[in-house]
Amino acid sequence: SQDVSAVESSLAIRPKEEARELWQKYETATRSLSAGLCEQLRLILEPTQATKMRGDFRTGKRLNMRRIIPYIASSYKKDKIWMRRAKPSKRQYQVILAVDDSKSMAEGASSELALETVALVARALSSLEVGQISVLSFGADTRVVHEFEKPFTSDTGVEAFSRFTFAQQKTDVRKLIESSLSLFQTARNNAAGSPTELWQLEIVISDGVCEDHATLQRLVRKAQEQRVMIVFVVVDSVRESSILTLDTIKFVDGEIKQERYLDTFPFAYYLVVRDVRELPGVLAGALRQWFAESVEGA
């Protein structure tokens, strides 16, 4: 049946030699872009509250005025009236790179742009050295191609690339997000250090054509509640048409409704990228915006 063939085709792997060549090609091509992205991410990840003074200590740098009256009232017994400069704690990140392995990616040059994006982002993150990366492939099924626990190196890059064939017969984004949220939950429980300094991000790399926007919208909200940010990178390669102009036809109570596909796109943070060189700038921009919002909200 259809299900079986979908699973078989997604299990197909690319020959190791071919995967190695591809990885080397894209890693080299994106090296300087990757270094640039790494620098931008370093600035974003730098703790912003490093200079805050915090109480309550017997000695310190500055008096905590709110402690003075209780101090006098307690006949100078409650003497933890000093604040000290809080030590900046390093933020840790866990990033899932989810790559669309469905057949639609093979039309045009979307699949090449997707692999280029993986090489670029994975390298930037691994040279930051303050977190963990996981790589997923999704289509009819979602698979972990690289786990959080393992460091991401050139060898694992080759290994990951060998798992993408862009032949899956469905694009089940809902399954992807559900699996990702449960992976994040487990990874948060296993993470060392303060959970408030843990930064969980999913970067989805896809041509963007997915179904069931209403359900996905609910899942995106659930991700927000779990403090997981999802950035959807739409790789819109050069072909006869663009997702920016794609329309969709729906029958609502027998009436035809025509709307722009992106008008109901469920992901709040999405970027349409046509050239990998645009990526570091737009990605860093989206992350900076999200980070500013999440610091304000905290």
Partner 1 sequence: MMEIDAPDAQQQTQIQVKFVTRDPEIAVAAAPILVPTNLKRFGLSQVVNHLLSSDKSIPFDFLVDGAYLRSTLDAYIIQNGLSSETTLTLEYVRAAIPPKFLTSF
List of residues contacting Mg ion (CB under 5 A): 102, 104, 171
Stretch that binds partner 1, among 141-149, 227-235, 247-255, 266-274 (CB under 8 A): 247-255
- Closest approach, Cβ 161 to partner 1, in A, equals 21
Among residues 18 and 211, whose Cβ is nearest to Mg ion? 211
Q: Which of 170, 252, 254 lies closest to 210 in space, CA to CA? A: 170
Count, residues near partner 1 per rule CB under 8 A: 32
**Interface residue with partner 1, options 171, 200, 206, 237 (CB under 8 A):** 171
**Interface residue with partner 1, options 85, 222, 238, 285 (CB under 8 A):** 222
The type of residue at 112 is: E
Strands 131-138 vs 92-100: parallel, antiparallel or unpaired: parallel
Q: Which of 142, 164, 150 lies closest to 26 in space, CA to CA? A: 164
Half-sphere exposure for 86 (CA within 13 Å, toward CB): 13
The type of residue at 200 is: Q
Among residues 171 and 200, whose Cβ is nearest to Mg ion? 171
Residues in contact with partner 1, shown as a per-residue x/- string from 266 to 295 under the rule CB under 8 A: ------------------------------
DSSP, collapsed to helix, strand or coil, labels residue 255 as strand
CA gap 33, 12 in Å, rounded: 31
- Closest approach, Cβ 234 to Mg ion, in A, equals 12
- Closest approach, Cβ 167 to partner 1, in A, equals 9
DSSP 239: S
CA gap 234, 28 in Å, rounded: 23
Q: Which helix (H) or strand (E) holds 134?
A: strand 131-138
Among residues 104 and 126, whose Cβ is nearest to Mg ion? 104
Query: Please, are residues 99 and 137 in contact by the beta-carbon 8 Å criterion?
Result: yes
Q: How far is CA 241 from CA 58, 106, 107, 208, 246, in A?
A: 68, 15, 11, 13, 7
Instruction: Indicate whether 211 belongs to the interface with partner 1 (CB under 8 A).
Output: yes
Q: From the list partner 1, Mg ion, none, pick the one residue 252 interacts with, judged by a Cβ distance below 5 to 8 Å according to partner type.
A: partner 1
Q: Rule CB under 8 A: which of 78-137 touch partner 1?
A: 102-104, 107
Residues in contact with partner 1, shown as a per-residue x/- string from 140 to 169 under the rule CB under 8 A: ----------------------------xx
The type of residue at 277 is: R
Q: Which of 256, 266, 123 lies closest to 115 in space, CA to CA? A: 123
**Interface residue with partner 1, options 61, 90, 150, 250 (CB under 8 A):** 250
- Closest approach, Cβ 178 to Mg ion, in A, equals 18
Point out which residues bind partner 1 (CB under 8 A): 2, 102-104, 107, 168-171, 174, 178, 209, 211-212, 214-215, 218-219, 222, 240-241, 245-252, 256, 258, 261
